[in-house]
Amino acid sequence: MSESINEILQDFESYLKFYKKNYNYLIQKDELKSDSVYELDVENDFNISVKEEFTENYTSPKIETVEIPMAKKKVVENEDWKNAKNLLELKELIKDCKKCPLWKTRTSFVFGEGNPKANLVVIGEAPGADEDEQGKPFVGRAGKLLTEILKAVDFTREEVFICNILKSRPPNNRNPLPEEIEACEPYLFKQLELIKPKLILCVGTFAAQTLLRSKEPLGKMRGKFHEYQGIPTMVTFHPAALLRNPNWKRPTWEDVQLLRKEYDKLVKK
């Protein structure tokens, strides 16, 4: 082993002598920079090439990274519900809906309830805590008040249909987000298409503005009829708002009386 090292060293020494003799140049130790890169090319007669200052002059080529936009995630939903022939079928097809993030926090999907052939549909904003727990619209204190308001003008809950714009509860009863409305309102439109009511009652600003595509405050919308797809639509206060502001009971009373009169005119003729 040591013999072969000696042979290599001797060869190397001969090479340096040859180099000095032919090129009048001797590689000095101090010329060898610590950051130089040496390549020993065995096949080419021990040719030592010195790539000086390799690391100083060398800058790695810039690698340009091009951000490739992700294709927009398209949620492929089963749209069979659009062909539902009745409310039962519709409910069955949409009850596990995950079209917007509200499905993650809901306890129950609240479809709505009442007469599937109702002449009057009552529409609110979204399920609250009680509704989410029981899976029914307008239960709890506000629900009881709605039942009383309807009763005051001779309607029972069973003869009308009651539902909301959103079918899942927004956490902490916050206002629905535009994307949640956009995702959910087609279900309401389908419900109205199937029920074909003669009149609609929107309770609360949110339901009225969403259904009627309006930005007007409730104070300006109430007390008169609007139209949704040719269906006369009355707007009044939400029962939950009446619980906070009893002063609004009077105008609500006036609104539902107008509703009753119109109902009698349309239904009894």
Q: Write the DSSP string, 120-183.
A: EEEEES---HHHHHHT-SS-HHHHHHHHHHHHHTT--TTTSEEEES-SSPPGGGPPPPHHHHHH
Of 131 and 180, the one with the shorter C-beta distance to ligand SF4 is 180
Of 169 and 238, the one with the shorter C-beta distance to ligand SF4 is 169
Q: At what angle do helices 178-195 and 87-94 cross, to 10 degrees?
A: 160
CB 239 within 8 A of CB 149: yes
- Least Å distance between CB 153 and ligand SF4? 30
If binding is defined by CB under 6 A, does position 84 make contact with ligand SF4? no
Interface segment toward ligand SF4; rule CB under 6 A; list 26-34, 39-47, 55-63, 176-184: 176-184
42: DSSP letter: G
Binding mask 93-112 for ligand SF4 (x = CB under 6 A): ----xxxx-xx-----x---
Size of the chain, expressed as the number of residues it contains: 269
Determine which residue in the list 123, 146, 184, 242 makes contact with ligand SF4, applying CB under 6 A. 184
Interface segment toward ligand SF4; rule CB under 6 A; list 78-86, 165-173, 195-203, 258-266: 165-173
CB 242 within 8 A of CB 248: yes
* Interacting residues with ligand SF4 (CB under 6 A): 97-100, 102-103, 109, 166-168, 180, 183-184
